Chain A
Amino acid sequence: MVVPAAGIVRYVVDDRLGLGNGNYAAAGLLAVAVLGVPLVDRTGVARSVWLLFITALAPTALVVWNNVADSRWPGVVGPAGVAGGLAATVAVTDLVGITGPAPWFDWQYVTSDPSQTAADAGLYPAIIGSVFVIVLVAVITLVVAIGAAVYLEEYAPTSGVAGAFARLVRINISNLAGVPSVVYGLLGLGVFANLANLGVGTVITAAFTLSLLILPIVIISAREAIQSVPDSLRQASYGMGATRWQTIRRVVLPQALPGTLTGTILALGRAIGETAPLIMIGVATTAFSPPSGLFSRTSAMPMQVFVWSSYPSEAFQHGVVAAGVVTLLVVLLTMNSIAILVRNKFERETH
């Protein structure tokens, strides 16, 4: 049971946080997580609680540490409030002697496959499916959106027929941001699942469809970020014999990246919770094994939660569904804190 958990911790820390903090932090956290297990066993705390604690604590602690290091005290208030609240919860239940309801959101839930019985039900394949899809979405969106924004802001003509066309494209990107997600689902079904033959309900179809959904938002935020780079810096760069691409690569993009990442973080939050387009492209409501590759069929957390909510049993209605929602939120918040860490790193580098 510990091994997959440690694997997840390692994945999260090594691949994501490792960007900003080096592999020492990753290895250290992994060691703490694994070595702490026997210790925790003796204290009577469940292993699952310990591992979740570590997984959630790591990004939070890093955020707090960054804030303290930069003397941004308001940034500490949030984590401090959470920690204080947790402590108060434990203290109050101990003092008053209330036993809380049996938690549904536990380790078994996170690591098991879905089941017809509420007690055995788990979200593991859907979590992996969602994370897989979202990571792909993030990569596709960032590459395409930055490319599109750079073209629109730096290369596109501003006068003549071509200029008018570029203006039309800009306006319509803003319009696309308001199109209902179910429409993107239909488009994804038509273009990616059928036309491009990427398969119905596969990881890659879902990733492309969700990318389309959030691209307008990310392009707009990337354009804003590029616009906010002072022209004087571009001129200084050109004045020293830099080509247009060198200027973009070395001056404009480093300045625009934090703003772009902010928009991407917000958009990914929307993408991970989307259900309608996934229904349209035929993503499975329930999958009993995580996707094995880009072209394998997958499920996603919101789909699984949605189908559970129609089960008649009260245990499903009040327990499993709620736990699914909590899982979704935890994954979302973890993802966002990682993205914010990456953004802060870039902000510090450029200022």
Chain B
Amino acid sequence: MSRDTTQTESSTDPTEPSTDTAGSGTDAADPSADADQLVDTDPGGGGLSERERRETAATEPVVTARGLDVYYGDTQALDDVSIRIPANRVTAMIGPSGCGKSTFLRSINRMNDLVDIARVDGELFFQDAEIYADEVDPVALRRQVGMVFQHPNPFPKSIYDNVAYGLRVQGRTDDLDAVVEESLRKAALWEEVNDRLDETATGLSGGQQQRLCIARAIAVDPEVILMDEPASALDPVATSKIEDLIAELAESYTVVIVTHNMQQAARISDRTAVFLTGGELVEYDRTEKIFENPESQRVEDYITGKFG
């Protein structure tokens, strides 16, 4: 968290979002970065206050949502969510089950497209490209926004083929060996598997499988890595390895992590967003502030265990 303070605030030049599919976004300024526009979810006055922007709006936002609603059929899963997720930070999403954390995560790389009845309203930008614009190819988007799932889901192929999968489907097969090795090293798995890359990935332990899934996700060099409760199916030792890994990954990638474990959110994240029942983003702030002095009474109740 200390690195937040060392950054300077990005310029907020109000430009219209371009329609590029995969953001080139070096000047990814939020089109209208007035704080009051960003905060329209929280009746308690939390969210992005003026002070918060000064202290921690340190890097350019990679993912920006404004008034995002997601429906599954008649059920509303996200209600008017507005958030700016900064680059090269770990942003945690916490909240009770069914509150829309995972839905938000899946909106970012359009995995909700795979659900026929899902419908998205509102604005969601990746860098300066609108994610749900007609001309955005979800395949191209997912190449920029990688994902790690709750349960380790390696393909029933060899370890090598698992890591190489993303590169192969994208046709980036130059120097495959080197990229596979580098990805496995970044995922802190190389030492454990370098002598058995040809063996099937399903023979690894759960923690190793999850790190393999992370290696697989970073092999294609995305901008953002979404993690949907990546450690919830793992034991404490494996969890601790994954957490160390996340901290390292934040140096080169933007990490958005959904977790049920509030201690985990407190340990690893720079920013925390608290979703509560009904798909409402109640408070979004620096992690220290959320856990030590939340603006909203409901958030405090949730974090201290008085509420659900």
Contacts and interface: CB of A to CB of B under 8 A. Distances in A.
B220 interface: yes
A233 to B, nearest CB: 6
B192 to A, nearest CB: 21
Interface string B140-161: 1011001101010111110000
Given A232-B153, A251-B155, A350-B156, A240 B165 contact: yes
Contact of A239 (B146, B170, B200): B146
Given A230-B153, A255-B156, A351-B200, A241 B169 contact: yes
A203 to B, nearest CB: 39
18 contacts: A157-B116, A159-B116, A230-B153, A232-B153, A234-B114, A236-B154, A236-B155, A239-B142, A239-B149, A239-B217, A241-B139, A241-B142, A241-B143, A242-B139, A243-B169, A255-B156, A351-B200, A351-B202
Given A158-B116, A241-B170, A351-B156, A250 B142 contact: no
B156 A240 contact: no
Interface of A: 157-159, 230, 232-243, 246, 250-251, 255, 350-351
Interface in B101-116: 109, 111, 114, 116
Report, nearest first, the 6 A-B pairs whose CB atoms are least far apart.
Answer: A241-B143, A240-B166, A239-B147, A232-B153, A242-B169, A241-B142
A239 B111 contact: yes
A239 B141 CA distance: 10
A79 B151 CA distance: 42
B166 A241 contact: yes
Interface of B: 109, 111, 114, 116-117, 139-140, 142-143, 146-147, 149, 151, 153-157, 165-166, 168-170, 200, 202, 213, 216-217, 220
B139 A236 contact: no
B139 A243 contact: yes
Contact of B153 (A236, A243, A350): A236
A87 to B, nearest CB: 40
Contact of B111 (A157, A158, A235): A235
Nearest to B141: A241
B220 A241 contact: yes
Contacts, number: 70
Contacts of A240: 142-143, 146, 165-166, 169, 216-217, 220
Contacts of B200: 351
B169 A246 contact: yes
A235 B153 contact: yes
Contacts of B139: 241-243
Most B CB contacts (10 A, CB to CB) among A158, A239, A250, A251 go to A239
A159 B165 CA distance: 32
Nearest to B213: A236
Contacts of A243: 139, 169
Given A157-B116, A241-B143, A251-B155, A235 B149 contact: yes
Contacts of A246: 169
Contacts of B166: 240-242
A235 B114 contact: yes
B220 A233 contact: no
B198 to A, nearest CB: 12
A200 B83 CA distance: 71
Most B CB contacts (10 A, CB to CB) among A159, A242, A246 go to A242
Most A CB contacts (10 A, CB to CB) among B146, B154, B165 go to B165
Given A235-B149, A241-B139, A241-B220, 10 more contacts: A230-B153, A232-B149, A232-B151, A232-B153, A236-B153, A236-B155, A238-B111, A240-B146, A241-B170, A351-B200
Most A CB contacts (10 A, CB to CB) among B156, B157, B216 go to B156
Contacts of A238: 111, 114, 142
A336 B139 CA distance: 41
A241 B117 CA distance: 22
A14 to B, nearest CB: 29
A122 to B, nearest CB: 48
A106 B151 CA distance: 60
A351 B157 CA distance: 7
Nearest to A158: B116
Nearest to B148: A239
Nearest to A244: B139
A232 B157 CA distance: 15
Contacts of A250: 165, 168-169
A230 B170 CA distance: 23
Given A158-B116, A159-B117, A241-B143, A236 B169 contact: no
B22 to A, nearest CB: 10
Contacts of A157: 116
A232 B114 CA distance: 12
Nearest to A247: B169
A234 B153 CA distance: 10
B168 to A, nearest CB: 8
Nearest to B150: A232
A241 B155 contact: no
Contacts of B155: 233, 236-237, 251
A239 B114 contact: no
B140 to A, nearest CB: 7
Contacts of B213: 236
A210 to B, nearest CB: 34
A236 B151 CA distance: 11
B85 to A, nearest CB: 18
Nearest to A229: B156
